[in-house]
Amino acid sequence: MDTVTKRKLNSEEIFAALKVFITEVIGEEFVEDMDITRESSFTKDLEMDSIEIVSFSEKVKAHFGENIDFTGWLSGMDLDQLINLKLDDIIKHIETCQ
Amino acid sequence: MPKFMFVVPPFFGHISPTLSVGASLISRGHQVVWVGIKELGAEHIPAGGKFIVPHEELAEHQADIQRILKMQDEGPKLSGVETLKLALEETYLPFCRYIMKGLSRVADEFQPDVIISDCITFAGAICAYNKGIPCVTTTPVPPDVTGDTMQSPKIFEWQKNLILGLQREFGVYTDDYVIHSRDMNIVFTSKEFAASKDTSEHMQYVGPVKGRPNNTPFDWDRLAAVTTPKVFVSLGTLLVDIRKDFFQKLIEAFADQPLTIVAATDPAIFDKWPDNFIVQGYVPQSTLMPHMDAVICHGGFNTVNDAFLNGLPMLITPIAYDHFHTASLIENAGCGVKLRYKRLRVSDLKTAMWDVLENEKYRIAARHIQDTFIKAGGNEKATELLETFAQKTYEQTTTLS
């Protein structure tokens, strides 16, 4: 039997997966009016509240693995880091955790 | 007779309970003044009281004060962390710096026996500390409003550095927070509703204090003819920009439903309202409430308190600031349903409204909070606490001298 090594996802694939999670969390009808890019800020552009962030974080964990502690990572940030957090920062974080 | 000096921010929700308590103190023969950075309409100031704005010392900060007041309108567009920054770093701290000089002069002239400082006007408590004047804090909303955010070590650090830094600017070098009184903090809600973890003895939960009489005319005959469940809707006095969007959603959800909406908002925002909407710019809110079956609001504590004092269940659509905290408390206490205003679906609005109206559990829970509010003692209790506090500190100072 082949040893299956779980392939690391590249940045584009992570971005695509995150977009799906955001749509699931926020709701399709609300995502329609949004332009989700790597530069989208988490709180300002996507306007996620704490409940949405928790549900997003659970999806990230379920998909990318338990070792991605998204809420733990957030709680280590200072105010300005949280305010300026972009989707791209999350993609990079997942890349390093994989 | 002791003299009381209230120090208040330029936000009416924070000033309002102090006006009720101040009016009671005046009627019992005490001298009472208020100090703030913005004038208050004369109609609000209790007879015999005085509202002092130290214009001379504030003159150089006037442009900044106006800019900061304008910034508050941005609230609905901000995220939770941005709101925290706007509130503490960009509003409370500068306001404290601007008023300190004038406040200090007024305190020297008036010689208060007690300074009663609102929880966000740090200047009152710092001034009291520096002059050795006994200090009481008033807190109009359930405390712990920042909730879990302060669990984050860097944000906790940020808050601590700002507050201790501010205290040092005014010569206070202790590492304790003196911006809030450790002797007495009067909170205008019930302990049970606030679900506060702070069990310190100085926290005194007195419940809401009664508002001032409001004789605004209303079409009572039209209301009396209504046979469907009646739902009161208010967005409070702020949040002018989003009014149209909000009521558009309510119209979509409820125009064809067997219920009646009684809304406090300017009717001119739409040419035509559905027949089951009774709309008026200003309403006699506290007289109307006993006729209602439920309330839709954003979580501003004036309407929330009025709803609870009548044991009414709520549909809350938090928009900004402390609304989210209040909305969570209402939901946790089982008194209603919370729907975030952003991404509000008309179908959810409908489902939640009928759930709130038809499921008796919300009304029962709301009546329970009503009981805790009434038992907390309100205005009378607050007045009694302040008199006892003044008497006690007065005796202490006379024994010492």
ipTM: 0.78
pLDDT in tens, B232-262: 999 876 666 788 889 999 999 999 999 999 9
Indicate whether A55 belongs to any domain. Answer: yes
Does any CB of chain A come closer than 8 Å to the CB of residue B71?
no
The pLDDT > 70 percentage for chain B reads 95
Determine the pLDDT at residue B383.
97
Indicate whether A28 belongs to any domain. Answer: yes
Q: pTM for this one?
A: 0.89
What span, in angstroms and rounded, lies between the C-alpha atoms of B272 and A39? 42
Collect all residues of chain B within an 8 Å Cβ-Cβ radius of residue A76.
152-154
Does any CB of chain B come closer than 8 Å to the CB of residue A3?
no
Judged by CB atoms closer than 8 Å, whether chains meet at A44 and B82 is answered as: yes
CA distance B391 to chain A (A): 44
Judged by CB atoms closer than 8 Å, whether chains meet at B79 and A83 is answered as: yes
Where do the domains of chain B lie, and which CATH numbers do they carry? 3-207+377-400 (3.40.50.2000), 220-375 (3.40.50.2000)
Collect all residues of chain B within an 8 Å Cβ-Cβ radius of residue A44.
79, 82
pLDDT in tens, A17-29: 999 999 999 888 8
Contacts of B371 (CB under 8 A, 6+ apart): none
Kindly tell me the burial class for residue B206, based on how many C-beta atoms sit within 10 Å of its own C-beta (0-12, 13-18, 19 or more): buried
Chain A contact probe: residue of B86, B337, B343, B346 with most A CBs at under 10 A: B343
Can you give the CATH number for the domain in which A29 is found? 1.10.1200
Domain that holds residue A58: 11-97
Q: End-to-end alpha-carbon separation of chain B, Å?
A: 18
Determine the pLDDT at residue B237.
67
What span, in angstroms and rounded, lies between the C-alpha atoms of B73 and A22? 28
Question: What is the residue-wise DSSP string for A45-92?
Answer: TS---HHHHHHHHHHHHHHH-TT--HHHHHHT--HHHHHH-BHHHHHH
Residues B188 and B17: beta-carbon distance below 8 Å: yes
User: Which DSSP symbol is given to B118?
Assistant: E
Number of domains in chain A: 1
Contacts of B251 (CB under 8 A, 6+ apart): B270, B273, B274, B277
Indicate whether A62 belongs to any domain. Answer: yes
Mean pLDDT, chain B, as a whole number? 92
Q: pLDDT at residue B392 above 50?
A: yes
